[in-house]
Structure 1
Amino acid sequence: MKFSSTMKAAAVGGAALLILTGCATNEAAPETGGETTPSSLSGTLAGAGASSQDAAQQQGWIAGFQTANADVTINYDPSGSGAGRESFQQGAVAFAGSDRAFKADEITAGPFDACTTSDIVEIPAYISPIALVFNVDGVDNLNLDAATIAKIFTGEITKWNDPAIAEANADATLPDQAIVPVHRSDKSGTTGNFTEYLAAAAPEAWTAGSVEEWPAEITGGEAAQGTSGLVEAVKGGVGTIGYADASKADGLGTVSVKVGEKYVPFTPEAAAAIVDASPLEEGRGANDLAIELDRTSTEDGVYPLVLVSYLVGCEKYEDPANAELVKAYFEYIVSADGQEAAAKAAGSAPISDSLREKASAAVAAIS
């Protein structure tokens, strides 16, 4: 579907974010080691979205890409998944990071002002467990099943020594202390993934569905802005518990989630395993690689409370300069070097070779 000339005009503001000179066509993905051909790419590329990706973006992908392309500056604003998708739709940024893919009806409704069509590229480039993090004096690890987690966040379970927690943690000394659940105050893909897990794995205890904005009917606990804000609220509180990208879990107690008859701690490998065990969503465009996660899997070694964060771009850009830089940057991110850079920076799980093959084909379609 072609957008009207009025809608195309709206893309001018977004295109102004990208000033590009002397760009090479069909630039190969940058390498991080060994001898490389000097890059002729230059300009400034703007992206925004998922705060979960921030460490991977800043310390992994941006650092690696700019090292190989010294005349390129990439700015990524970790404003949250919802804000990033909206900025991308408005043409204010050339790409977005999002902790969920666009829904089919959202793509149909559009618009995507930086694109010439409604066909978008969505690539699952950042895979990480969502950690349940808590701050209880003297307790470092807990075992919890999905129903117990749901009841904690709805306020049905209010004390840390509740029988439902104590029975699964016989070796822990649990205090007679109030539980303070902390949730995201902003529209968040992490919240969307967390509530999707609860809705699938504990539907009787969690009836609010899969939502990116915390349900208004659940009024207890505290709210915090962004991943960093939530983690700081948990660290600074007493008896607090929250959910965040696992890269931010250092210094806090963490939860092993019940899968089948076992309790599974979060690891990058367990997160990658659930992604590979899940199919792509049906009815999507050829370059829209939205994954339908199996949150109720009982396979050994999988961790179902996982965040799959996407890179989102146009299949065809209004501005060829946007296309060139986005394509080169996405090529680097999905490469083995790019995935390793993210793993070192953020503890994420590198995508599998089979997923990389699909992702590379999707990136190649950008023009």
Structure 2
Amino acid sequence: MRYQRRAAAIGLVAAGALLFSACGSDNAGGGGEQGGANAAACGGKQNLRASGSSAQANAMTRFVTAFEQACEGQTVAYTPSGSGAGRNEFLGGQTDFAGSDSALKDDEAQRAQQRCASPAWNLPMVFGPVAIAYNLAGVPDLALDGTAIARIFNGQITTWNDPAIAALNPGKQLPAAPIIVNFRSDESGTTENFQKYLVAASNGAYGKEAEQTFQGGVGAGARGSQGVADATRNTPNSITYVESSFATRAGLGVAQVVNSGGGQPVPLTAENVGNAINDVAVTGQGNDLELDLNSIYTTRTPNAYPIVLATYEIVCSNYQDDPTGQAVRGFLTTALSPEAQQGLPEAGYVPVPDRFKQRLTTAVNAIQ
């Protein structure tokens, strides 16, 4: 059963096919005995089922392709049904693991303990930067900080030449044009994470809740990431928040962001996003790698881009049947391989930086 996608999922630019050296299986669940350095990643249950976050949909496509090429006869059917549905289906035993934009809540962790007969782990496998994308003639580069972004998106800053924006962009000719805000009209993990950033990094300027619907109270709504990117491309003097690949594909400007350290504006690059991820605080215990994303949103590290969406794979630490545990471990091992990670920036994600990958690898290897 191949990876299934729904049209309403948050789309990200699909990249070309992956090349991955074949590896063998040590039981009937994987291919034949083919050997290779990654042989231990194959075997177990042939057809894994998973569902959840649509924000990681195209990363999962890449990971599944790599897994199928590495382990003949094995696959993962991932349905991007949304984070809440993914968690519920995993907790109900309908899937082998879940993709989620947020870690399990306390009550969900208790249900997961019953479903797994072991603790469940939150493993942040996919990271994607959120761009502050804009359409402003004559301003090829724009710097903003958390407070200015919050005040734009809650309607307190209404013109491009506002003194707060001008102070961050000395020497630039900013027009007196009104700022047109475009926001996601549908429920979205991107919207929730963006607003979490605003709450954490704006020194109280946002004054709104971080929910899956936009709470700023200004602007025009458009459905989906493609919708807000198109609206911004077609509307002069407008601004939005969107996964970086959509901004790039639409030819929009992407603001540099001054992080909470107050230093130089930080461009959105894979390296700068990796700098923020490397310093993220982990609130989970042991191999449960639940993150304190506020440590990214409020990073003071030079050259760390602070607006990052993280999505988890939620797994049993010890599956009740060994073939499932082996296959989940093998799939996630493949997902962390260089062959699966390369090219992720083309699809709007960043490869897991090496320092954080070490923690993930330790946790993945411990899945039973």
Please report how far the alpha carbon of residue 39 of structure 1 lies from its aligned counterpart in structure 2 after TM superposition. 5.8
SS of the equivalent of 1:273 reads helix
Change over 3 Å in CA distance of 1:321–1:187 after alignment to 2: farther
Q: Which amino acid aligns with 1:234?
A: T
Q: Which amino acid aligns with 2:75?
A: T
SS of the equivalent of 2:280 reads coil
Which whole-Å CA distance do the structure 2 matches of 1:147 and 1:38 have between them? Answer: 46
Partner of 1:246: 244
Change over 3 Å in CA distance of 1:265–1:204 after alignment to 2: same
Please report how far the alpha carbon of residue 341 of structure 1 lies from its aligned counterpart in structure 2 after TM superposition. 4.8
Moved more, 177-186 or 269-278: 177-186
Partner of 2:351: 349
Partner of 1:264: 266
SS of the equivalent of 2:277 reads helix
Equivalent pair of 1:100/1:309 in contact (CA under 8 Å): yes
Among candidates 29, 35, 53, match of residue 23 of structure 1: 29
Q: Which amino acid aligns with 1:317?
A: Y
Equivalent pair of 1:49/1:98 in contact (CA under 8 Å): yes
Change over 3 Å in CA distance of 1:364–1:202 after alignment to 2: same
SS of the equivalent of 1:262 reads coil
Which whole-Å CA distance do the structure 2 matches of 1:326 and 1:226 have between them? Answer: 30
Partner of 1:51: 54
Partner of 1:63: 65
Among candidates 231, 234, 252, match of residue 232 of structure 2: 234
Partner of 1:162: 162
1:337 aligns with 2:339: yes
Change over 3 Å in CA distance of 1:42–1:161 after alignment to 2: same
SS of the equivalent of 1:249 reads helix
1:141 aligns with 2:141: yes
Count residues in correspondence: 335
Change over 3 Å in CA distance of 1:61–1:29 after alignment to 2: farther
Which whole-Å CA distance do the structure 2 matches of 1:268 and 1:22 have between them? Answer: 39
Which whole-Å CA distance do the structure 2 matches of 1:78 and 1:348 have between them? Answer: 20
Please report how far the alpha carbon of residue 170 of structure 1 lies from its aligned counterpart in structure 2 after TM superposition. 4.2
What does residue range 314-329 of structure 1 map to in structure 2 within 5 Å? 314-318=316-320, 320-329=322-331
Change over 3 Å in CA distance of 1:97–1:154 after alignment to 2: same
Partner of 2:90: 88
Unmatched tracts of structure 1, length 5 or more: 1-20
Which whole-Å CA distance do the structure 1 matches of 2:208 and 2:167 have between them? Answer: 26
Unmatched tracts of structure 2, length 5 or more: 1-26
Change over 3 Å in CA distance of 1:29–1:292 after alignment to 2: farther
Q: Which amino acid aligns with 1:362?
A: A
What does residue range 32-47 of structure 1 map to in structure 2 within 5 Å? 43-47=46-50
Equivalent pair of 1:187/1:212 in contact (CA under 8 Å): yes
Partner of 1:103: 105
Equivalent pair of 2:125/2:313 in contact (CA under 8 Å): yes
Which whole-Å CA distance do the structure 1 matches of 2:197 and 2:364 have between them? Answer: 29
Q: Which amino acid aligns with 1:231?
A: A
What is the identity percentage for the equivalent residue pairs of Structure 1 and Structure 2? 33
Equivalent pair of 1:271/1:349 in contact (CA under 8 Å): no
Please report how far the alpha carbon of residue 319 of structure 1 lies from its aligned counterpart in structure 2 after TM superposition. 5.2
Which whole-Å CA distance do the structure 1 matches of 2:362 and 2:351 have between them? Answer: 20
Q: What do the CA deviations read for 1:251-273 (whole angstroms, capped 9, x no partner)?
A: 11111111313111111111111
Which whole-Å CA distance do the structure 2 matches of 1:29 and 1:288 have between them? Answer: 31
Q: Which amino acid aligns with 1:289?
A: L
Which whole-Å CA distance do the structure 2 matches of 1:312 and 1:226 have between them? Answer: 25
Change over 3 Å in CA distance of 1:199–1:138 after alignment to 2: same
Which whole-Å CA distance do the structure 1 matches of 2:133 and 2:36 have between them? Answer: 36
SS of the equivalent of 1:51 reads coil
Q: What do the CA deviations read for 1:73-100 (whole angstroms, capped 9, x no partner)?
A: 3333334434433333344432222233
Partner of 2:182: 182
Partner of 1:11: none
Q: What do the CA deviations read for 1:34-67 (whole angstroms, capped 9, x no partner)?
A: xx79966674333333333233222x31221121
Which whole-Å CA distance do the structure 1 matches of 2:113 and 2:180 have between them? Answer: 40
Which whole-Å CA distance do the structure 1 matches of 2:69 and 2:30 have between them? Answer: 17
Partner of 1:366: 367
Which whole-Å CA distance do the structure 1 matches of 2:134 and 2:266 have between them? Answer: 17
Partner of 1:310: 312
Which whole-Å CA distance do the structure 2 matches of 1:38 and 1:117 have between them? Answer: 24
SS of the equivalent of 1:86 reads helix
Q: Which amino acid aligns with 2:333?
A: E
Please report how far the alpha carbon of residue 235 of structure 1 lies from its aligned counterpart in structure 2 after TM superposition. 3.0
Which whole-Å CA distance do the structure 2 matches of 1:156 and 1:223 have between them? Answer: 18
Which whole-Å CA distance do the structure 2 matches of 1:235 and 1:173 have between them? Answer: 21
TM-score of the superposed pair, with normalisation by structure 2: 0.78
Q: Which amino acid aligns with 1:206?
A: Y
Which whole-Å CA distance do the structure 1 matches of 2:53 and 2:41 have between them? Answer: 31
Equivalent pair of 2:30/2:71 in contact (CA under 8 Å): no
SS of the equivalent of 2:367 reads coil
Which whole-Å CA distance do the structure 2 matches of 1:106 and 1:305 have between them? Answer: 27
Q: Which amino acid aligns with 2:28?
A: G
Equivalent pair of 1:182/1:233 in contact (CA under 8 Å): yes
